[in-house]
Amino acid sequence: MITAPVVARVDARYAVGRVLFTICAAIMTLHLVAVTVRILLRPGGGGPADVLSLLNAAQERSLASWWTSALLVTCCLVAVAVARLAGAETRTGLAKRPWMVLAVVFALLSIDEVVSLHERGAKWTEAGARYLWRHLAMAVEEAAEMVGVVIVLLGVLSAVRVRRSDSHLTVAYEDDN
């Protein structure tokens, strides 16, 4: 049986997670609106088409890809911070290695998101797919990617304890093993 600690509603991670998931939901709602408008109105070039492309999660350089990249960079930076804390607060310093590996993985995923490798690959393999199904698949992929990154970010933050006493804020690594 696997048990997980109960996160109190006063825990800052609860509020952070709620905000991040709300932003993900808003971005995916904008995606659905953009795809629906594009299907129904079929706007030509210019401003409206550019805005719809920015909101369409299946497009390169969209709001969804920017947000996911920002989340990945944040995960990378948090993992580096946790690695530093783990190295400083454990005897051998071995606890920081997995966090640094995780930081590198997040950095590479963020680079992939910025240069749009997986979107380009989807265009090459789904070239014969109908517009709606291709965009539906891309929307599911982007939504899963965003939500997955938020979950991992909250998991990384679970190794950090923030305490406030008087006017001091203390950030520490806490290994619950």
pLDDT in tens, 112-166: 777 766 556 656 557 555 666 667 777 777 787 788 788 888 877 777 777 777 7
* Geometric angle at alpha carbon 140, from 159 and 119, rounded to 5°: 95
Query: By the 8 A CB rule, do 138 and 116 touch?
Result: no
3-class DSSP state for residue 29?
helix
pLDDT of residue 4: 46
User: What's the DSSP call for residue 92?
Assistant: S
User: Which are the contacts of 101, defined by CB distance < 8 A and separation ≥ 6?
Assistant: none
- Residue 151 CB neighbour total at 10 angstroms: 13
Question: Within a 10 A sphere around the Cβ of 51, how many other Cβ atoms?
Answer: 14
For 98-112, what is each residue's pLDDT tens digit? 888 888 888 888 887
pLDDT per residue over 57-80, tens digit each? 777 778 888 888 898 899 899 889
- Contacting residues for 23 by C-beta, under 8 A, at least 6 apart: 67
